[in-house]
């Protein structure tokens, strides 16, 4: 039986999408308050937990917040859509946790309160 736990963080960033015909108003420079949910899965250890939430928070801050918080996302992505950003975050977090006894189960990146992309293992 596997256990899943999660951590949510928020960050602010801006971007613009370049093709007026496809992206409409999003071609203009604008920002979002992104909300990121990170879920990990694995076996509960002898201490009764999958992982310390503090440890999970530190990995997310190191891999995601230090890079993207208050950043211009076009500096990192040719097409900075929420789908592409979420896939990159999933890959980066998976690499950062590759030696841990748990793994990324999924991430969900909200670009607005009602719109998100989800990457599932």
Catalytic positions are 26, 70, 111
Q: Is 3 in contact with 49 (CB distance < 8 Å)?
A: no
Please state whether beta strands 102-110 and 116-120 pair in parallel, antiparallel, or not at all (unpaired): antiparallel
How is residue 117 annotated by DSSP? E
What is the spatial distance between Cα 43 and Cα 80, in angstroms, rounded to a whole number? 35
Q: Is 104 in contact with 118 (CB distance < 8 Å)?
A: no
Q: Is 18 in contact with 28 (CB distance < 8 Å)?
A: no
Q: Is 24 in contact with 82 (CB distance < 8 Å)?
A: no
């Amino acid at each position: 039986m596997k256990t899943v736990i999660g951590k949510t963080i928020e960050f602010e960033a801006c971007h613009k999408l370049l093709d007026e015909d496809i992206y409409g108003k999003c071609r203009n420079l604008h920002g979002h308050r992104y909300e990121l949910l990170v879920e990990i899965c694995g076996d509960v250890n002898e201490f009764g937990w999958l992982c310390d939430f503090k440890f999970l928070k530190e990995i997310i801050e190191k891999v995601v917040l230090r890079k993207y918080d208050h950043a211009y996302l076009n500096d990192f992505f040719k097409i900075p859509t929420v789908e592409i950003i979420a896939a990159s975050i999933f890959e980066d977090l998976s690499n950062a946790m590759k030696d841990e006894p748990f793994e990324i189960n999924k991430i969900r990146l909200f670009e607005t309160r009602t719109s998100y992309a989800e990457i599932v293992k």
